[in-house]
Amino acid sequence: SRFISLAAARENRLRLDWTSVPPPRPTFLGVRTFANVPLAELVERIDWGPFFSTWELAGKFPQILDDPRVGEAATSLFKDAQVLLRRVVERRILRASGVVGFWPAASMPDDDIVLYADPERTTELARFRTLRQQMAKPDGRPNVALSDYTAPMEAGVEDHVGAFAVTAGLGLEEARAEFVEARDDYNAILLTALADRLAEAFAEWMHERVRRDLWGYAPDEALSNEALVAEAYQGIRPAPGYPAAPDHTEKRTLFDLLEAAARAGMSLTESMAMLPASSVSGLYFWHPESRYFGLGRITPDQVEDYARRKGWTLAEAERWLAPNLAG
């Protein structure tokens, strides 16, 4: 596949019309903590599909339960999961806590998104560095970066960006250790899989609160769980380390901004894995045209530009962006 220069890709950025759809105002600025969110509320939001793939059982939920090949195994696993899940909820074996925040923001010509401490946008608080697609695009399709979903200063509108970090893994290690000590590896693995599902459900629950209430740009949204799983809502919540934003180190900026350690007991390892393991974090973009995308591969001009923006050596940039290097 062919690549274009970073300059050409920036020239071919996604240009949104910021006047016809004015940016919505969040109901608060700064960070808010959601401590001990009732697990029962999260259970309704669980997407069970990925749960079965943990056990290498492939199929869509709930159809998988009747599958001629794996239906029996899937049904038995699902029953066990329900029993353990009830125990987890009733005895509060796991705890769910999270943080969410909103800030005045503007995108920069170099694909950075700057968050400001003040509505006048004079004091820079944090800066997220985004990466831009460089594959040659057919028929006038844009080379997208996440910064395209935040209004630039010159648009003359007051835009905001949101961020979140949620975990359903508080208490997981202790509970797992008890199972392992009792030589019950099955329930130890089951509990971990449930904690992962609850964390994703928490991210879903929180995003719904954001759309309907905290940012409030979709107050009348009423979607089924199927529609939520299919992402049939306005806005996206991309996470650092995923295809649109493959640099895991951006989580540092995110966690500092959200005070995730002090507020929700969440931290990062040196390799940028989140602790507790059953956690989800990311940014919120509200624009109706915002979509998830894959960055794909990038060429040395962008790697050098990114290293400069991050204050990294070229070697550091190449290490963190290794899966996305062209050639």
Note the pLDDT tens digit of each residue in 12-24. 999 999 999 899 9
Quote the CA–CA distance of 267 and 315 in Å, as a whole number. Answer: 25
Taking only the tens place, the pLDDT of each residue in 175-186 is 999 999 999 999
Within a 13 Å sphere around the CA of 178, how many CA atoms are in the beta-carbon half? Answer: 6
**Single-letter amino acid, residue 213:** D
Q: Indicate which CATH number applies to the domain containing 35.
A: 3.10.196.10
Q: Which helix (H) or strand (E) holds 95?
A: strand 95-107
Q: How many domains does the chain have?
A: 1
The verdict on residue 1 lying in a domain is: no
The verdict on residue 144 lying in a domain is: yes
Q: To the nearest whole number, what is the mean pLDDT of the chain?
A: 97
pLDDT tier, 302 (very low <50, low <70, confident <90, very high otherwise): very high
Structure confidence at residue 231 (pLDDT): 86
Question: Domain range spanning residue 153?
Answer: 6-324
Instruction: For the chain, report the end-to-end CA distance as a whole number of angstroms.
Output: 10
What backbone torsions phi and psi does residue 16 show, to the nearest 5 degrees? -90, 155
Candidates 23, 51, 22; CA nearest to 278 is: 51
Quote the CA–CA distance of 217 and 120 in Å, as a whole number. Answer: 22
Structure confidence at residue 8 (pLDDT): 97
Q: Check whether 75 has a pLDDT greater than 80.
A: yes
**pTM to 2 decimal places:** 0.96
